[in-house]
């Protein structure tokens, strides 16, 4: 069973809560959801800036690697899922 983006996000959220605490998780989740809203055009940049500006230096040092790690894991999962789909799409004689 492939690991999807939502499952990766949940796992990463659990790790952030366990290592950084609930308050850090809530700040990061606010920035993440505001980023998605900004990307979709349903909020302005100011809402995102307020969340980013509220981070302390320690929070920022936790936030940046968590976003980077999620992005890398999501890309790896999507690549792997694409490889699996491609393998099943091949004609039986090519396997």
**pLDDT: is 40 or 91 the higher one?**
40
What residues contact 8, with CB distance under 8 A and at least 6 apart? Answer: 70, 73, 74, 77
28-74 tens-digit pLDDT: 888 888 888 988 999 888 888 888 888 889 888 877 887 787 778 77
Q: How far apart are CA 3 and CA 1, in angstroms?
A: 7
Q: How far apart are CA 60 and CA 52, in angstroms?
A: 8
Tell me the C-alpha to C-alpha distance, in Å, between residue 19 and each of 68, 90, 91.
Answer: 17, 43, 47
pTM of the model: 0.63
Q: Mean pLDDT of all residues in the chain?
A: 78
Percent of the chain with pLDDT over 70: 80
Q: What is the DSSP string of 30-43?
A: HHHHHHHHHHHTSS
């Amino acid at each position: 069973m492939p690991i999807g983006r939502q499952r990766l996000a949940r796992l990463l959220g659990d790790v952030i809560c366990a290592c950084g605490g609930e308050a850090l998780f809530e700040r990061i989740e606010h920035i993440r959801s505001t980023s998605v809203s900004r990307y979709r055009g349903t909020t302005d940049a100011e809402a995102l800036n307020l969340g980013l500006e509220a981070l302390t230096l320690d929070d920022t040092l936790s936030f940046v690697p968590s976003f980077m790690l999620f992005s890398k894991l999501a890309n790896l999962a999507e690549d792997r899922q694409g490889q699996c789909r491609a393998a099943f799409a091949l004609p039986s004689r090519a396997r």
